[in-house]
Amino acid sequence: QPFTCNVDSPPCNKPPNDGYFIHGVYDLGINTTIRNSYFYASSSEGILLRGGGGAVVEHNVVDENGSGVIFGDLSPKNDTFAWNIVTNSRGVCGACLEYFGIWSYGEVGPGNVAKDNDVFGNVSGNFGPLPKVKVEDNIEVDPLYVNAAKHDYTLQPDSPVLGYGPE
């Protein structure tokens, strides 16, 4: 029988096992820009805005990661997450309850905002704890991808979120 890691404890969270802590983007920089990209099938966060500040993350698709985006835990500040589509967050740890679309964890600095995003179908909820992140004008609707199973994130002509995601 194959070995499967489905918990956040040894040996599953230690290399070379199945990558519980693999992120699409792990940002600790200053004034990082992430635009018009696709992040999918990472076992942990699609996008981790862990520290630094002034990041602009816009017009991306973040699908089927452990979590969509997380603000924290090294006091990120003045980061903006906007016009993204965040869908289908789920993970390998059956006991974990942190498969949110957008959330924060630990120390989070001032000035962070998540606005004008579509956040849909995330296992633990579309929005998790966000005590120091301004959340405004987000929607929660099926984006109507052409074929997410094959990672074709083109939006169907009748999608309610035309203008969100990559331009």
The answer, as to whether pTM is greater than 0.85, is yes
pLDDT in tens, 18-36: 455 678 898 999 999 999 9
Q: Is 40 exposed, middle or buried (0-12, 13-18, 19+ CB in 10 A)?
A: middle
Q: Is the pLDDT of residue 86 over 90?
A: yes
Distance in angstroms (rounded) separating the CA atoms of residues 64 and 76: 24
Rounded Cα gap, residues 78 and 54, in angstroms? 5
Query: Which has the higher per-residue pLDDT, 135 or 22?
Result: 135
| Model pLDDT for residues 54-71, shown as the tens digit of each residue | 999 999 999 999 899 999
The CA-based dihedral angle spanning residues 49, 36, 66, 130, taken in that order and rounded to the nearest 10 degrees: 40
